[in-house]
Amino acid sequence: MKGIIIAGGQGTRLRPLTYHRPKPLVPVVNRPLLEYQVALLKEHRIDDIVFATNFLAELIQEHFGDGSRFGVRMRYAVEDAPLGTGGAIRNAADLFPGEAVAVFNGDVLTDYNLGAVLDFHASKGAMATITLQPVPSPNPFGVLKLDDANRVKAWVEPTEEQKKALAQQENVPITGTDLINAGFYVFSPEFIQAIPPGVKSSVERDIFPKLLAESAPIYGFSPGGFWMDLGRAEQLIAATRAILDGSVKTHTVDIAIASSESIAEDVLIRGLTSVGYNVKIGHGAILNDCIILDNVTIGARAVLSHLIVDERTIIGDDVVLEGALGGATPVIASGSVINQGSRMHV
């Protein structure tokens, strides 16, 4: 089986972390998110992979190269202009003419048994199989309705405005459980041919509705396991916790503290915190449930809680930066300088 990872989005909801890196390269416990997906694909014998890229595509290619460092073959389908999910898949699948493909959205952290998804697809003779995740309703995801044989009867995809509105609401009453599109698919060659080449399209809003209206054999399958969409800073913090506490089974080695040579001996690192490479932390500092990326300097007696600090930030002595557990996650942009004694509570 061949693999495609859609990795072309600009990641606007994760800004400022995505101003200078594509969203799929945002580090999660000191590894780019894409490394977890590549490792999972490889674990299930999907080791010929194409990245469908656009925004800052050269950084993805620079990191992964030909894939040999990760034990896979890696190729790149770079879009001159964004083609949407449908156009991106068709553009990448043209490197595998006439073959079935497994497709991953590049913003998903999961430990799904992908082999079970592939087996289900084959057993149904499906044109397409969509992995499904049960989540509380309402939610900002595409919701699928199935018949008793797991064939898709309907797909209801929210607009971008609806997604934003739901994501911003707090304490929304739960009305039930939905099966949502979990961002991993298996597509037959016939499905790929149904996507217009070189044309911007959405596989969710354009391709699936058309084929469902034609009664194409499209199925949904829920393999069980951990699943998370990493679209917002709060989800990045939650993903870090999930990796460090073992909630998600990964096929990589976790690197919670990437380097400790420049961390003072009396620094307290509490909770499920990750600290990147070449980070300097002064005496008496306290870190609690934080993500600290590479080349950050943190001064003596600084206190940081429930936040993300991007690369090359300088935080002075006696600074207190505290996000609220369960609230919006503060993100300190790359290259920021926070002077001695500054205080921020969110």
Q: What is the pLDDT of residues 84-117, one digit of tens each?
A: 889 999 999 989 999 999 999 888 999 999 999 9
Q: How does pLDDT run across 9-52, given as a tens digit for each residue?
A: 777 888 899 899 888 899 999 999 999 999 999 999 999 999 99
Binning pLDDT at 50, 70 and 90, where does residue 57 land?
Answer: confident
Q: What's the DSSP call for residue 231? A: -
Sheet containing 331-332: give its strands across: 274-275, 291-292, 308-309, 331-332
Task: Render pLDDT for 299-331 as a digit per residue (tens, 0 to 9).
Answer: 999 999 999 999 999 999 999 999 887 778 899
pLDDT at 340: 93
Q: pLDDT-derived band of residue 259, with 50, 70 and 90 as boundaries?
A: confident
Does residue 243 register a pLDDT over 80?
yes
Which pTM was predicted? 0.88
Contacts of 300 (CB under 8 A, 6+ apart): 264, 282, 283, 284, 285, 317, 318
**pLDDT tens per residue, range 144-186:** 889 999 999 988 877 777 777 776 666 676 777 889 889 999 9
Question: In what helix (H) or strand (E) does residue 6 lie, and over which residues does it extend?
Answer: strand 2-7
Spatial separation of the C-alpha atoms in residues 297 and 101, rounded to whole Å: 44
Question: What domains, with CATH codes, occur in the chain?
Answer: 2-244 (3.90.550.10), 268-345 (2.160.10)
